[in-house]
Amino acid sequence: MPLDSSAPRPVLAIHGGAGTLLRHAMSPELEAEYRASLHAILDDGAQALARGATALEVVTEAVRRLEENERFNAGKGAVFTADARHELDASVMDGQTRAAGAVAGVTRVRNPILAARAVMAHSGHVLLIGASAEEFAQGQGLEMVAPDWFDTPQRHAQLLKARELARGQMLDHDGQAAVDAGSTARPGAAQVDAKHAAAAPGSGPIDEQTKFGTVGAVACDAHGHLAAATSTGGMTNKRPGRVGDSPIIGAGCFADDRSVAVSCTGTGEAFMRACAAHEVSALMRHGGLSLAEACERVVFQELPLVQGDGGLIAVDARGQVWMGFNTEGMYRGAVRPGESPTVGIYRDE
């Protein structure tokens, strides 16, 4: 989205996860559903920006909406851990003040992004985890749900498939138990994040067995202030207690009015090792790179050095947007007030 002047132009960009493309698994009806969901969130966000909403308000609401959509791996419809539960993570950051909040490993907060926002605004801390985060969220009046509220049949089927893959990985070529494998598959032994895991036809345009299912939003408001928000259910069959990059400020989420707002989706451990979101900012502030140059360096050079697959969305204080990935596809879209949203799923869009 090129700019005609140096004045900031409000903009919202969102993502719903990246992964291996499966065009054959996409029905026209399913594709229309994904695109309509992204379009509606973007359209409402653009209207909010036009009314003068702050970037922080807009990204929080966009991610809350994505958490409510069970097609995406955050909130309702989150993936299952190895012990058949859900552990949810989220973070949010205000580029104007660099205030930030995050929660990790929550199981009963309906909208983890709202809990992250409450941590930022009312706790005096940045990151709360587990039961303590839930107790804090409940004290802030946020809606709590039973853990099984997040369940969906498709995610449970995904867990069963991952367990099957895990058992297969424990066997050698002769079908005998591998010497060092033990008698049973350990929890999280086959977290579903490998590029070449078995496909699950019919599960979506991006293979749910190889999808990095984080959601996120970045925005620039009319005053040139930035914000970023990220939320996830993690990886199917992940080891209980595992935390990825999504709630880690500087890894999966970062915002600084002096440079950029970033939300990431991908192999969380790699994004943490690369400090991916902050690295984009550092390349811009200290390296003098443009938004596009910094994002491309991180996604196509830095992340591959640590076996990092995925992508990110980013916006700078002038309202320039970058949305890219090193996988086959990424649910994504962007919009400016008064314009029609642009939405994409595949690499060639």
Catalytic residues: 214
Q: How far apart are CA 25 and CA 23, in angstroms?
A: 5
Phi and psi for 278 in degrees, rounded to 5?
A: -70, -30
Place of tokens 């939405």: 343
Q: Could you tell me the two tokens for 21? A: 């493309």
Is the CB of residue 277 less than 8 Å from the CB of residue 263?
Answer: yes
Nearest in space to 199 (alpha carbons), one of 24, 18, 15, 16: 24
For residue 132, CA distances in Å to 119, 232, 247 come to 11, 19, 15
Place of tokens 């196509």: 300
Put residue 244 in one of left, alpha, beta given phi > 0 → left and psi -120 to 50 → alpha: beta
Q: Could you tell me the two tokens for 150? A: 């997040």
Q: Which residues of 159-180 are buried (b: 16+ CB within 10 A; e: fewer)?
A: bebbbebbeeebeeeeeeeeee
Is the CB of residue 333 less than 8 Å from the CB of residue 341?
Answer: yes
Coil, strand, or helix at residue 316?
strand
Tell me the pairing of strands 100-106 and 88-94: antiparallel
Residues whose CB is less than 8 angstroms from the CB of residue 57 and which lie 6 or more positions away in sequence, other chains included: 48
